[in-house]
Amino acid sequence: MFNKILIANRGEIAVRVIKTCRRLGIATVVVYSDADADSLAVEMADEAVHIGASPAAQSYLVADKIIEACKRTVAQAVHPGFGFLSEKAEFAQRCADEGIVFIGPNPGAISAMGDKIESKKFAAAAGVSCVPGHIGEIADTAEALTVSETIGYPVMIKASAGGGGKGIRVAWSRQDVEEGFPAVRAEAAGAFGDDRIFIEKFIESPRHIEIQVLGDKHGNVVHLFERECSIQRRNQKVIEEAPSPLLDPQTRAAMGAQAVALAKAVNYDSAGTVEFVAGQDKSFYFLEMNTRLQVEHPVTELITGLDLVEQMIRSAYGEPLAFGQDDLAINGWAIESRIYAEDPYRKFLPSIGRLVRYAPPAEGEKGAYTVRNDAGVREGDEISMFYDPMISKLCTWAPTRIEAVQGMARALEDFHIEGPGHNVPFLAAVMDQDRFVAGALATSYIKDEFPDGFSGTEPTAFQADLLTAVGCAMQRIQAQRLGRARADWTVVVGHGKQRVHLSGEGQSLTVDLLDEGRSLSLTDIAWRPGLPTFRGVLGGTAFTAEVAPAPEGFVIRHRAAKARVLVLTARSAELHDKLPAKAPADTSKLVLSPMPGLVVSMDVAVGQQVREGEVVCVLEAMKMQNILRAERDAVVKTVNARPGDPVAADQVLVEFQ
């Protein structure tokens, strides 16, 4: 086996590869940019090599620097992770030329399948059913318009070298193509160093289902069943699961056989993923092949018991697969939630900053479910604007899908983050939706279920009781410490008001709801002033709530339900009823930066008349370009930023008269 492997990547996948190498007794080297100098991966690896400035184009995407680091540290092989150089056939060939083993498929397989345009030509020639589209490179916006109108809207504009949800836009009209084509081309050039674009028909309400394949250098290929990745936002996967709730054994076998046949046709010899777009009727079409390890590989590992990183390493070393297709079976159900540094309450805009608190749920068995959390960060680390905003990948496994979903909901309760905005409340909302629990998924799920964006959810009856009980318990604990304990209070949760009587000792509390004539039993209380989470058991149901002090009460969040809870004396409650409502600030004449980033273009000037929907400026953050539009007809009064300027969140970019 290899003695030393260099990991040409960063973040959680670098940490993931290090863990497997440690178990196999293989020394590790990581490369790092300026932004990652103090990262967890650098701390964990046996050696670390600095390879340049923070932008990926000056560090992780520079093959010469990776090769030089391999030579300097005498690493025998390089694992590229995902993204960056992982699907570059030239890099795989360069490694071979330099006598370095590339832990991934051979250059020929990458060339045949890694390029989305060429892979569609290859698949079509091999008789594989493909999504209708224009198989070939699009030269400019004019040709993009011609092709789009020939195929028929809606169409998907895609970067040939794309991945990770980057370089993809859905165009529903001529205007969408005129704006989307140059934006996708710019994203592709910046993220992948390759601005080739193709266009295909966008199939409405599809499901995204992919087959994991695994091959060795002896002609053996197996599939490790499927993953459902239909819960997406902006073409970026958010929640994945294995197996798929759509497939029956016959469809699973057919998709798996097609994926294996395609892999064998190109002599595939590593881990890879054949992606399909599937209809609700279980019809499926080949979409593309990712010639690398997928972000969502943990759910496949959880249902098969295999370590895919280990299998990649063994295959690269030349070992034959130690199992055949008949040796593989699906065990239980696994779900992955991608924890992103983004603000779901502000249209999921990227959020950067320091992780003031980072407290994920403990990994391991939790009774009915098991928790796994793949992360590349620690408390105190900074989420950088230069890379994807992923914080971690939270997974749960259980014998059944319902138990895995319930386990994920509980695990999300136990995940506490402070600093940058994060999507944990949103993920919790999805887990609680009847449609998700029923497995009625589609790539349009988020748009269907949250058409106006995410603003949290209204408390259920249980959550309303929980908010009341937790607020009372916190008030009681604080008052007892000050020697001012009272038994009778008025609790205000949102627009509801409740008279309560408190009794109990130690970790147990009874909350009598006097207006309703019923009582709440809160036991196993685990909280003290200063703690950001409150744990307990309400009426026999264990829970974790996120809590923070507020004037005369607390802000409490349970899953996606968040409220300000006031615990007041009767007189204070009367006075609160008389307070005037505070009007929100008027920002209708301002265009604010929704996130920290760089101004790519400023498309308006002082004195210019703009119409509703017109582009005002373009910002880039986390490798994504974001178009800001005028929300009404107006005349530009001031312009406060120029192309190339760094801007902060909520900075005023343009002011209207």
Q: Which residues contact 283 (CB under 8 A, 6 or more apart)?
A: none
Q: Which H/E stretch holds residue 624?
A: strand 624-629
User: What pLDDT is recorded for position 127?
Assistant: 72
| Confidence (pLDDT) at 367 | 93
Q: Is residue 150 part of a domain?
A: yes
Q: Which two tokens stand for residue 217?
A: 């250098």
469 and 571 co-located in one domain: yes
Considering 521, 543, 577, which residue would you say is the last residue of a domain?
577
Is 297 among the domain residues?
A: no
Q: What is the 3-state secondary structure (H, E, C) of 19-44?
A: HHHHHHCCEEEEEEEHHHCCCHHHHH
State how far the alpha carbon of 382 is from the alpha carbons of 38, 84, 373, 420, 623, in Å.
10, 20, 18, 9, 17
Domain co-membership, 510 together with 616: no
Neighbours of 121 (CB within 10 A): 14
- Report helix, strand or coil for 99: coil
Q: What are phi and psi of 381, to 5 degrees?
A: -70, 160
Q: What is the pLDDT of residue 622?
A: 66
Looking at residue 96, which CATH number applies to its domain? Answer: 3.40.50.20
* CA atoms 79, 83, 89, 91: torsion sign: negative
Candidates 241, 288, 301, 546; catalytic one: 288
CB atoms near residue 148 (< 10 Å): 25
Identify the bridge partners of residue 513 per DSSP, sorted by sequence position: 500, 518
Query: What average pLDDT values come out for the chain (657 residues) when binned by 10 residues?
Result: 98 98 98 97 98 96 98 98 95 98 97 82 78 84 94 90 80 95 91 88 89 98 98 92 98 94 93 94 90 97 98 98 98 98 86 92 96 97 90 98 98 96 97 98 95 94 97 93 87 90 94 96 96 97 96 94 94 83 78 87 94 88 78 92 90 93
Backbone angles phi, psi at 106, to 5 degrees: -70, 155
The token duo for 333 is 């159900």
For 9, the domain range is 4-103
Q: Specify the 3-state DSSP secondary structure of 580.
A: coil
572 and 596 co-located in one domain: no
146 is a domain residue = yes
Evaluate whether 398 touches 370 at the Cβ level (below 8 Å): yes
Distance CA 224, CA 640 (A): 53
Q: Do residues 11 and 4 make contact, with C-beta atoms less than 8 angstroms apart?
A: no
Q: Are residues 17 and 54 in the same domain?
A: yes
Name the CA radius of gyration of the chain, rounded.
Answer: 27
Phi, psi of 464 (to 5 degrees): -60, -40
Q: Do 594 and 567 have their domain in common?
A: no
Residue 209, in any domain of the structure: no
- pLDDT for position 106: 97
User: How many domains does the chain divide into?
Assistant: 5
594 and 569, same domain (yes or no): no
- What element of type H or E holds 288? strand 284-290
Whether 288 sits among the annotated catalytic residues: the reply is yes
- The CA dihedral of 418, 415, 9, 297, to the nearest 10 degrees, is -160
Rounded-to-integer distance, Cα 545 and Cα 536, Å: 9
Closest residue by Cα to residue 411 from 355, 449, 371: 371
Domain shared by 618 and 571, yes or no = no
What DSSP element (H or E) covers 450?
none
**Rounded-to-10 torsion of CA 132, 136, 140, 146:** -40
**Is 507 a domain residue?**
yes
Which pLDDT does position 171 carry in this prediction?
96
Tell me the angle at which helices 141-151 and 174-192 cross, rounded to the nearest 10 degrees. 120
| Per-residue pLDDT at 123 | 82
First vs last Cα of the chain: how many Å apart?
Answer: 69
User: Which among 95, 94, 58, 100 has a CA at the least distance from the CA of 76?
Assistant: 100
Residues 507 and 614 in one domain: no
Decide: 379 and 355 in contact? Cβ < 8 Å. Answer: yes
Q: Considering the domain boundaries, does residue 489 fall inside one?
A: yes
3-state SS class at 17: helix
Q: Are residues 570 and 618 in the same domain?
A: no
Nearest one of 184, 12, 60 to 624, comparing CA atoms: 184
Q: Which of 528, 548, 577 is the last residue of a domain?
A: 577
Among 554, 577, 600, where does a domain finish? Answer: 577
Strands 77-79, 101-102: parallel, antiparallel or unpaired by DSSP? parallel
Same domain, 465 and 552: yes
> What CATH number is attached to the domain comprising 651?
2.40.50.100
- CATH number of the domain enclosing 521: 3.30.700.30
Question: Is residue 171 one of the residues assigned to a domain?
Answer: yes
Find, among 165, 159, 160, the residue nearest to 181 by Cα.
Answer: 159
